[in-house]
Amino acid sequence: MSSRATAFKMNNTFVRPEMFYISGLQDMPFVNYFYIFLVVVYILTMFSNIFVIVLIYLEQTLHSPKYFAVSQLAFADLCATTAVIPKVIDTFLFNSNFIRYDECLANMFFVHCFTAVQSLSLAILAYDRLLAICFPLQYHSINTNSRMMLIIFSVWLFTAVVIFVTVILITRLSFCKSTVINSYFCDHGPVYRLACNDTSLNFIMAFTNIVLFLFVSLAFILFTYLAIGLALLKIATSEGRQKALKTCTSHIILVAVFYIPLAVTYLMEQMHMSNSNARILNNLLSATVPPILNPVIYTLKTEEMMKSITKYVKRKQVQNNMYKLYVKCTLMS
């Protein structure tokens, strides 16, 4: 058989591998210490984000559109961290690098879906601050609790549909060569680039996802702060401007923590300054560090949250004192 005929046969033979091999972190020095770091990050992330969600649920004063959006970001952080860290530890620490085809697609869907929701959650918080500062008198009529819940539901539905289509398009690809994924999970880009047949549609979806969930979201956030900046200039007193700006500081920090590492990685790749290990490590840190910082930043930088925590702690102390007094009286009787 001629080489031309062999190539034609290879291009027309559909190959769906039983398994992929995830190779991302294997060649990194001192990687075992990094796994310990991930375990600590995961435990703290779970505790802090669950604390924020429970606090907002229990405190009636926090039942507002802003804190519904905050709890939504905390929930997205919980989901994203759970989709990434346990699988990374299982894959590399316990040498479970092989992952079945269907499990790989599921892993791809959940990681990308939750990451996209994190980005859009920051846009939702920016929308809330825009209305609060630029339209203070109409804020409560425009941004009701039910409307915020509808926005949050729409974000989850839209994201799930787009990512589902992106992942399903992987099933049309044939993998007749390598099945080694150079990432820390079943990343969409490294997976579709392994295919032997036409991947132009997958490239279009990957580009669409980046534009929709990163650039459009970031552009909207920047637009809201441009509008907020113009609104602050119209406030007569510097004290009023500082008070209004103070309500935005926690969100600005969250945006910086989430987007700056991604922007640095993107620029380094465009300038060909990033090697494979640096890209993988930076992407993993970008996925795991913001979820642990978000609840800390919002708790320390938000006056309402600090008041609610103080109120909750005092209430628990009163309950404990009452219980101790009851026990003491019972024993004396």
The letter for the amino acid at 299 is: T
Does 284 reside within a domain? yes
Which of 48, 44, 42 minimizes the C-alpha distance to 299?
Answer: 48
pLDDT of residue 150: 96
Q: How far is the C-alpha of 155 from the C-alpha of 158, rounded, in Å?
A: 5
Stretch among 157-166, 214-223, 321-330 having the lowest mean pLDDT:
321-330
Q: Which range among 71-85, 205-219, 283-297 shows the weakest confidence by mean pLDDT?
A: 283-297
Percent of the chain with pLDDT over 70: 82
pLDDT at 20 over 80: yes
| Lowest mean pLDDT across 130-139, 150-159, 317-326 | 317-326
Examine residue 249 and state whether it is found in any structural domain, yes or no: yes
Residue 104's CB: how many other CB atoms inside 10 A? 23
Does a structural domain hold residue 111? yes
pLDDT one-digit tens code per residue, 206-234: 999 999 999 999 999 999 999 988 888 87
pLDDT in tens, 36-53: 888 999 999 999 899 889
- Residue 63 is predicted with a pLDDT of 87
pLDDT at 200: 93
Instruction: Give the CATH number of the domain where residue 50 resides.
Output: 1.20.1070.10
Predicted pLDDT at 21 = 93
Does residue 300 surpass a pLDDT of 90?
Answer: no
Q: What is the pLDDT of residue 298?
A: 72
The reported pLDDT for the residue numbered 188 is 93
Residue 163: pLDDT above 50?
yes
259 is a domain residue: yes
pLDDT of residue 2: 44
Q: What is the pLDDT of residue 333?
A: 58
- Work out the average pLDDT over 64-81: 92
Q: Classify residue 158: in a domain, yes or no.
A: yes
pLDDT score at 137? 86
Q: Kindly state whether residue 308 falls inside one of the protein's structural domains.
A: no
Mean pLDDT for the stretch of residues 184-200: 92
Domain annotation covers residue 292: yes
pLDDT of residue 280: 79
* 139 vs 84: CA distance, rounded Å: 37
Residues 178-193: what's their mean pLDDT?
A: 91
Asked whether residue 322 is domain-assigned, the answer is: no
Q: Determine the pLDDT at residue 9.
A: 44
CA distance 87 to 94: 10
Nearest in space to 78 (alpha carbons), one of 105, 106, 101, 44:
44
Q: Residue 101 is part of which domain span? A: 18-301
The pTM for the full model equals 0.85
Regarding predicted confidence, which is higher, 8 or 222?
222
pLDDT at site 4? 43
Domain count, the chain: 1
Give the model's confidence band at 6: pLDDT under 50 very low, under 70 low, under 90 confident, else very high. very low
